[in-house]
A and B are shown apart, each in its own frame.
Chain A
């Protein structure tokens, strides 16, 4: 009998999920296109006054990033749940929380990372200063993994529900509010020349908290959903 190590299993899972993403490229394209379109629509609605855009720009980008993350969550466990591979993972040798973490990692690379790449472009569109743009990028880099991790818990709870989209939104969006508050206000602080360390500490603390607790909560929720 040979027992595959946890490392081997995680490598296999990451490789599998990357393959699936590559063969389903629309999954990457949809959230980031949504993100860009939502942000680009705002100047049409609130007017194109550059000073006003600079003032609300970070908030717009963050709300759009939040909604794009939410949109992308559907792809996280749904297909594994429906085709039975999730059962095989639950009944496998390895701790489910570790498998969940590597799934969320690949999912973030496919859906969160493109948001970071698009963000500087949107910063220019919204007349942000260079300092503001760099701060926004750093805040998104620290904040979007938190959004994916928290979202995974909600997705795991609703994966067994047909058309659970609205339920997922109700569960997850309130939990996103702290990230939104600190993520948006850190950019304003940077543009006003104020210290930003405190905001980043708060975002970092939330990221660490999500990283340590969300995989456990997600694996428990998946077991409940399979029951």
Chain B
């Protein structure tokens, strides 16, 4: 078994009485990027939550290095960065305080400089502003800034481009490119078509 591989084996998901998707299988290795596509309500967020281990699939399993993720949570979580539907920020804290806390929960890179990360996402001027005063796009950028600092290999991103302007989108594309160059993996959902350097973006279709 090759190291650092995420594998989904015939996942299916039921919400209420409705079957969202079934028999979704794929593998992702270092340097690969996947886009999950589907109409609203097709189960994109549900799939990502299953891949993280936040939700349980109706059938099927998710394996990290060939081991089911719920058997060795600590090892999987050390390599996982998840950007959820909710940005995971406290509105009563500043961007800097939010990042400081988020980084204490995750494995981080050798040289962590929160100011540099905030500058990269264009928020250096609002670093000490309480997040309640930031716009939706700026909140998203604070959440993205975390990705500049974590050392996780596998990024699972739920709508990373929502509410982000065109300059921001190309910044994130560059960030994803750098991550893939370093042997990272990305799974994301988006309705946008994006370009990440020379990397082909294969899709996982949820509409059957």
Q: Are A9 and B151 in contact (CB under 8 A)?
A: no
Q: Are B103 and A85 in contact (CB under 8 A)?
A: no
B22 within 8 A of A: no
- A94-134 Cβ-contact flags toward B at 8 Å (1 or 0): 10000000000000000000000000000000000000000
Which one of B80, B93, B109, B110 lies within 8 Å of A19 (CB-CB)? B93
- B80-101 Cβ-contact flags toward A at 8 Å (1 or 0): 1010111111111100010011
Q: Are A3 and B107 in contact (CB under 8 A)?
A: yes
Q: Are B105 and A92 in contact (CB under 8 A)?
A: yes
B40 within 8 A of A: no
Report whether over half of chain B's contact residues are helix, strand or loop; otherwise say mixed. Answer: loop
Interface residue ranges of A1-43 to B (CB < 8 Å): 1-4, 8-9, 11-13, 16, 19-20, 23-24
Question: With contacts A20-B90, A83-B88 known, is A227 near B55, CB below 8 A?
Answer: yes
The total of chain B residues at the interface (CB under 8 A) is 34
Q: Are A93 and B87 in contact (CB under 8 A)?
A: no
A124 to B161, CA, bound (A): 61
Q: Are B77 and A2 in contact (CB under 8 A)?
A: no
A89 to B54, CA, bound (A): 11
> Which residues of A sit under 8 angstroms from B105, Cβ to Cβ?
4, 9, 12, 88-89, 91-94
- A62-102 Cβ-contact flags toward B at 8 Å (1 or 0): 00000000000000000100111101111111100000000
Q: What is the minimal beta-carbon distance from B14 to any residue of chain A, in angstroms?
A: 12
- Please tell me the size bucket of the interface on A: 20 to 34
Q: Are B151 and A83 in contact (CB under 8 A)?
A: no
Task: Among A3, A88, A92, A226, find the residue whose CB has the most chain B CB atoms closer than 10 A.
Answer: A88
30 A-B residue pairs with CB within 8 Å: A1-B108, A1-B110, A3-B78, A4-B103, A4-B104, A4-B107, A4-B108, A9-B104, A13-B104, A16-B101, A24-B92, A83-B89, A83-B90, A84-B87, A84-B89, A85-B88, A85-B89, A85-B101, A87-B84, A88-B102, A91-B53, A91-B54, A91-B80, A91-B82, A91-B105, A92-B77, A92-B106, A93-B78, A93-B105, A94-B105
**Top 5 nearest A-B pairs by Cβ distance?**
A84-B86, A92-B105, A12-B104, A84-B88, A1-B151
